Amino acid sequence: MTTFVDRVELHAAAGNGGHGCASVHREKFKPLGGPDGGNGGRGGDVILVVDQSVTTLLEYHHSPHRKATNGQPGAGDNRSGKDGQDLVLPVPDGTVVLDKEGNVLADLVGQGTTFIAGQGGRGGLGNAALASARRKAPGFALLGEPGESRDVVMELKTVADVALVGYPSAGKSSLISVLSAAKPKIADYPFTTLVPNLGVVTAGSTVYTIADVPGLIPGASQGKGLGLEFLRHVERCSVLVHVLDTATLESDRDPVSDLDVIEAELRQYGGLDDRPRLVVLNKIDIPDGQDLAEMIRPELEDRGYQVFEVSAIARTGLKELSFALAGIIAEARAAKPTEEATRIVIRPKAVDDAGFTVNQEEDGIFRVRGEKPERWVRQTDFNNDEAVGYLADRLSRLGVEDQLMKAGARAGDGVAIGPEENAVVFDWEPTMMAGAEMLGRRGEDHRLEAPRPAAQRRRDRDAERDDVQKEYDEFDPF
Ligand SMILES: Nc1nc2c(ncn2[C@@H]2O[C@H](COP(=O)(O)OP(=O)(O)OP(=O)(O)O)[C@@H](O)[C@H]2O)c(=O)[nH]1
Ligand SMILES: [Mg+2]
């Protein structure tokens, strides 16, 4: 039996960035030759790419954890670390990527369409790159950033040429099993098919795909039964085939009213009106079925349908059906102007790149959120005072200090940078951030210290800021 997995969870872990290197050039008779620590390499991305030769998500069902390689650390003598390798994961055409809450992140259609599921971490700058007029020989380097780790859900919206629609037990799965090499599960009770099956049919020189999906019942378009799940798959097919049961034992049904019910559901769902349709009358191996088929054929043809009488069990009428479908598909393909150009899906930016927010929380802590401040914190080696000072300069230049002050933060207040689960917490000292390791001064109450007059404080800060500003005008690594 072929297993068809159309919904999987993927845990994508991008590679970490390599750390920058802090090193001093050494040469005979030149004891202090200047900083020459190289930058760390970028961590590899985890990238999803549509590959039309891939038909299921089964592989990710079996091994859902995927990791790209890390960037290498920088080295002395200005040697940069090697970048990590991107991990390219092939996915079937029609894969929809969602987050855990069910929001669509990307809809991947067309060979080569890509989506970055996990972004590799940036490499840290080495001390050579961090040198500036003011900081001629930095004794520190930036850390590489951890790669992005993300859980996504991938769903397959079938991209088949033909969709078989009909009531449960009309014989859709049986039909696909005899038209193609697919071996779907077939049983004698409703809703056998829980996920779509995909079969490949060869008729003459035309090769096309046919999707077998869960049976429809009245109310499907409103989400009854597996209706919506099912209709999601039909959306992309270019031909619809009504599979009608000519031998149903349910007394209140007959093929023509079945057809009306299904058509009403399709109309309700919408967007499928332009798709060509044809009708298959199945189960004519049963004598009553054969009689009924002959009786209703004229009515269906009057409605404009091309009608095929078949038996999936006795395998009759199949050739005519598969060649008729091949004809319609060949025509549809010829009418399609050109192959859709490869579309690159660029992941939307999560937060405003330049911005950050400061909020005081219930416990009195001031929380700073924003891409840059959070990144800078990740890049900082808190065991190195100079690196911590550099971080303080960066934050001050971005205006984080100003905002903290506006939000009412006072010297000694707790400031957290980053999300709740993963933040770095400081005791705040204006224009000088101390690392968490320097928190030892318990018992001192900053509020008791005589504060500088506000105007003086501002002047001092501005003077310092100008200095920092100048340095940054001269050099900004990002
Ligand atoms: N006699 C006869 N029985 C058939 C024929 N085609 C299918 N059946 C039987 O009808 C039952 C349902 O067939 P399926 O192929 O599972 O029907 P389905 O349309 O896929 O059903 P769902 O997946 O529930 O929507 C099975 O017991 C089949 O053996 C046929 O041509 N003749
Ligand atoms: Mg079925």
Q: Does some domain include residue 71?
A: yes
Distance 245 CA to ligand 1 centre (A): 9
Q: What percentage of the chain exceeds 70 in pLDDT?
A: 78
Q: Does some domain include residue 2?
A: yes
Ligand nearest to the CA of 248: 1
User: How large is the average pLDDT for residues 421-449?
Assistant: 56
Q: Is the dihedral of CA 252, 255, 260, 262 positive or negative?
A: positive
Distance 281 CA to ligand 1 centre (A): 12
Q: Which of 124, 157, 190 is the last residue of a domain?
A: 157
In this predicted structure, the answer to whether residue 50 has a pLDDT above a threshold of 90 is: yes
Distance 96 CA to ligand 1 centre (A): 30
In the sheet with 414-417, reading across from the earlier edge strand, the strands are 357-360, 366-369, 414-417, 424-427
> What integer pLDDT is reported at residue 450 of this predicted model?
45
Same domain, 295 and 433: no
Same domain, 215 and 261: yes
Q: Which of 275, 305, 335 is the last residue of a domain?
A: 335
Ligand 1 atom with minimal separation from the 311 CA: 31
Query: Is there a binding annotation on residue 71?
Result: no
Ligand 1 atom with minimal separation from the 170 CA: 19
In this predicted structure, the answer to whether residue 352 has a pLDDT above a threshold of 70 is: no
Same domain, 367 and 435: yes
Same domain, 172 and 141: no
Same domain, 25 and 150: yes
> What integer pLDDT is reported at residue 55 of this predicted model?
75
Cβ–ligand 1 contact at 183 (below 6 Å): no
Tally the domains of the chain.
3
Q: Does some domain include residue 124?
A: yes
Q: Does some domain include residue 342?
A: no
pLDDT digits (tens, 9 = 90+) for 293-339: 999 999 999 999 999 999 999 999 999 999 999 999 998 888 865 55
Q: Residues 6 or more apart from 459 whose CB is under 8 A from it? A: none
Same domain, 107 and 197: no
At 438, is the pLDDT very low, low, confident or very high (cuts 50, 70, 90)?
A: very low
Q: Does some domain include residue 231?
A: yes
Q: Select the highest-mean-pLDDT range: 99-113, 205-219, 452-466.
A: 99-113
- The best mutation among 4, 173, 194 to test binding of ligand 1, ranked by most ligand atoms within 8 Å of the C-beta, falls on 173
Same domain, 308 and 365: no
How far is Cα 125 from Cα 127, in angstroms, rounded to an integer?
Answer: 7
DSSP state of 273: T
> What integer pLDDT is reported at residue 194 of this predicted model?
60
Query: Is there a binding annotation on residue 472?
Result: no
* Pick from 209-213, 414-418, 449-453: least confident: 449-453
Tell me if ipTM is over 0.90. Answer: yes
Mean pLDDT computed over every residue of the chain: 82
In this predicted structure, the answer to whether residue 445 has a pLDDT above a threshold of 50 is: no
Same domain, 392 and 278: no
> What integer pLDDT is reported at residue 476 of this predicted model?
44
Same domain, 258 and 276: yes
DSSP state of 13: E
How far is Cα 154 from Cα 105, in angstroms, rounded to an integer?
Answer: 10
Ligand nearest to the CA of 310: 1
Long-range contacts, stretch 408-413, CB < 8 angstroms, 24+ apart: 408/360, 409/358, 409/360, 409/366, 410/446, 410/447, 411/446, 411/447, 411/449, 411/451, 412/444, 412/445, 412/446, 412/447, 413/364, 413/365, 413/366
Q: What is the span of the domain harbouring residue 433?
A: 357-474
> What integer pLDDT is reported at residue 34 of this predicted model?
87
How far is Cα 43 from Cα 121, in angstroms, rounded to an integer?
Answer: 5
Report the amino acid identity of residue 247.
A
pLDDT digits (tens, 9 = 90+) for 169-203: 899 989 998 998 766 665 554 445 666 677 888 88
Same domain, 54 and 118: yes
pLDDT digits (tens, 9 = 90+) for 245-304: 999 888 889 999 999 999 988 888 888 888 999 999 999 999 999 999 999 999 999 999
Same domain, 152 and 166: no
Cβ–ligand 1 contact at 214 (below 6 Å): yes
Cβ–ligand 1 contact at 312 (below 6 Å): yes
Query: Is there a binding annotation on residue 214?
Result: yes
Ligand 1 atom with minimal separation from the 314 CA: 31
Same domain, 242 and 286: yes
